Structure 1
């Protein structure tokens, strides 16, 4: 017992230290936890701190339960509903492209139908934790495309519940089409029951777990999560579904914020055990055999993500930079991919799934932040026809919603077809810009005299709009960025 405690304590401490070092260079923590497990587990030559990964099975299961329970508690249902039809369509495009590509890739591996479904989920569902962390670290919270990114990952989280409900009967090994249909009906029936409880039984659940003391509230909430997760597993539905759905139920009670706050530290610790325990099961000797499939999977994910980013940008009228930001910010895979493969391994599916997903997640954990930070370079090579607009001069510019000068916009159209200042000087100009405060039309910054910028500086009118046919983008000279109102506050002109 003492040796087990020493090994577990040492592994967790080393995982924290490695993750702390990784965060200093902009890398996420989840793959660091996996890596520590791989390097210090029985499948890797060298020191072994935990000989038997099964010893951590209960703690790892609790980590999985709390991870999904907390996700359900913090699920912003109102934000998703308020995002409108375009947000759901953008999320559907993203999920559909990635899941379909993952399913095709999974079948091409020839490992089996159930394995293909696991691969599809692992390749199709991004890491909400890593994506959110990138938005914060890259200082993109006020970008115009950020609500779309958040909406996509939130809808992905909801989709996960349905995907797990579909996958669980397959993993259970139903021996006939009728049995499979029965298991699927049971899984979705379980979801319906919990949705109904969330809709109409939240007050009763709040009365069951509610307490003025944080200690008792935490014990009751976690007890309820573990109980429902266990019951869902007993009836043949994944414990992950039960944990996620009971979190949604708790999110509808008046104790939501307190539960979210007091469960978070325990979730972080036990989720770390889950990721480390997964790494402990990986034999490094198996990684070489899946290296080529993992590299191809990374390439497939990059292509489908960028494609989905372009489709979302077309829906919301973003430029190339916005499209690149959407596609590359949600590129990383993490906790959900590991959850799916953990369930697959427990169900006795192909043993290659574990090292394949581990290597795939590790590769994307390193490349995704780098690609997201360099989205400008992808925007530079995206053609204008992809986005149904001419963004030639501003394809790499960030579109921000934080500009405080939008209240000075009073003029949004003009019939002027020439720069009066250039005409008086007898010189040519490149493109025209409209001052949205007074209606002055001047030449752009690529023109010799930059009359639009000079007018803005002299008159202190900050926001201009392109006066070129087919363009309506706006730029703030003071903030030095493309600008638009936050999503939902005004109708897009595109």
Structure 2
């Protein structure tokens, strides 16, 4: 690499970091910022060009991709997935199925080709773990009842990615006959099974190979192993991304996992930034106009699929409209995985419109997903009762929390009283009844003229009421101003 290239690359990465730092102040993710700098200062955009030949950065970009997938494998919480139960797998299958299928149908409708449709299916079907996690933190939703479900879905998506890449790599290799394609698929999945076996039975040997008390040597040995396995994956016709992801799963089963995760994280962030900047450098801005309409359609399709999956998931777990909206809109963001698939497609010589399509799609969703997730209550307002449990109609716009600090005051959960005694004494009617779970007092709801339930809570200091309406089991905490729900593992 010449000095001019080093200056250009350094300038591009520095500008990308500065733009990402500015974007963080507005709650926007960093990945689109890296892409934007690459697009703005690449050879495909009028104006100053920092890197004339992005292809010369391919090795550094590949290293970023490899470390990104490796770190994902190391972080993979297998116990969380297994412990999520059948409902979590059904919810994730629904989410992946709706999004991947809609992406595949859109790709076929565009008429770009079968291989291109498979790439679009993955790009539209797999959300960004980084963007989703960042949103949950910034929107202060980590204690929401639906958050473990959201995290479980994106974790299972990560696992699905390994199998999808194993299927996609032989397809992108352009096999000359069905028999050759079947052989390539068999090799790809065989390699995947081999690495799963190593993760299951060979983790101790891997730890002995790369383990060291010195952080420097551990980092060097780990990166060397990751790059070697990724290279071997490519040699046998499997994507280097699969090899990196799977060796990450192997390391996640060892006792040195936490040290490796800590040491590789800064390397991942730096080289991943180079990967995203390099991807942006390859985009010709003139090509984006031709894909603007298909991208707009793709965003609408993704939004519809996500909201539908959020409703199905909410029904599975007994959540209300607000939780359904939170689920559907929080996992809307697309990022690193979509760009990885775009890179593979460009490298395989597929339709040249795929790169600009996915770049514009990711950029627009990166802006839309935080905005829509922040205002999910508006979607909850128009979500009809019949699509979820009827018992949530009264509190459809409220977030469900598992962090109520007054659960120790729940002492009464049943009563035979079916009237508001205070309203009856006044000769007035009421709308709905609420039970004080501390003392058993029954009063009318806030839609009633006298609001005896909330008046009792205010005067007595008893924090939590429970709905007494047939089919409703929700509780409301006045001090915390939130719906009260036990954590998933403690639900009835």
TM-score bracket, normalised by the shorter chain, equals over 0.9
Give 1:300-379 correspondences, 5 Å limit.
300-379=301-380
Q: Which digits, 9 at most, give the CA deviation of each residue in 1:235-283, with x for residues without a partner?
A: 0000000000000000000000010011000100000000000000000
Paired with 2:174 and 2:202, the residues of 1 have a C-alpha distance of 33
Unaligned runs of 5+ in 2: none
Paired with 2:51 and 2:43, the residues of 1 have a C-alpha distance of 7
Unaligned runs of 5+ in 1: none
Q: Which digits, 9 at most, give the CA deviation of each residue in 1:128-166, with x for residues without a partner?
A: 100000000001000000000000000000000000000
Paired with 2:190 and 2:32, the residues of 1 have a C-alpha distance of 35
Paired with 1:300 and 1:469, the residues of 2 have a C-alpha distance of 37
Q: Which digits, 9 at most, give the CA deviation of each residue in 1:282-340, with x for residues without a partner?
A: 00110000000001000000000000000000000110000000000000100000000
Q: Which digits, 9 at most, give the CA deviation of each residue in 1:401-437, with x for residues without a partner?
A: 0012112222222222210011112222111001112
Paired with 2:373 and 2:396, the residues of 1 have a C-alpha distance of 16
Cα deviation, residue 21, structure 1? 1.1
SS in 2 for 1:393: helix
Cα deviation, residue 388, structure 1? 2.6
Give 1:366-405 correspondences, 5 Å limit.
366-405=367-406
Paired with 2:470 and 2:383, the residues of 1 have a C-alpha distance of 21
1:84 is matched with which residue? 85
SS in 2 for 1:442: strand
Cα deviation, residue 391, structure 1? 2.1
SS in 1 for 2:476: strand
2:248 is matched with which residue? 247
Under a length normalisation based on structure 1, what TM-score does the superposition of the two structures give? Answer: 0.98
Matched, 1:207 2:200: no
Matched, 1:416 2:417: yes
Q: Which digits, 9 at most, give the CA deviation of each residue in 1:166-216, with x for residues without a partner?
A: 000000111111111111111111111111111111100000010111111
Paired with 2:408 and 2:188, the residues of 1 have a C-alpha distance of 51
Paired with 2:108 and 2:278, the residues of 1 have a C-alpha distance of 28
**Once structures 1 and 2 are overlaid, which stretch shifts more, 458-467 or 320-329?**
458-467
**Once structures 1 and 2 are overlaid, which stretch shifts more, 59-68 or 397-406?**
397-406
Give 1:50-449 correspondences, 5 Å limit.
50-449=51-450
Answer whether contact 2:9 2:51 (CA < 8 A) is retained: yes
Paired with 2:405 and 2:374, the residues of 1 have a C-alpha distance of 25
Cα deviation, residue 490, structure 1? 2.9
1:37 is matched with which residue? 38
How many pairs are equivalent? 491
2:24 is matched with which residue? 23
Paired with 1:179 and 1:288, the residues of 2 have a C-alpha distance of 38
Paired with 1:120 and 1:392, the residues of 2 have a C-alpha distance of 35
Q: Which digits, 9 at most, give the CA deviation of each residue in 1:107-141, with x for residues without a partner?
A: 00101000000000000000010000000000100
2:473 is matched with which residue? 472
SS in 2 for 1:390: helix
CA-atom RMSD, angstroms?
0.8
SS in 1 for 2:418: coil
Paired with 1:280 and 1:127, the residues of 2 have a C-alpha distance of 21
Paired with 2:310 and 2:159, the residues of 1 have a C-alpha distance of 20
**Once structures 1 and 2 are overlaid, which stretch shifts more, 479-488 or 444-453?**
444-453
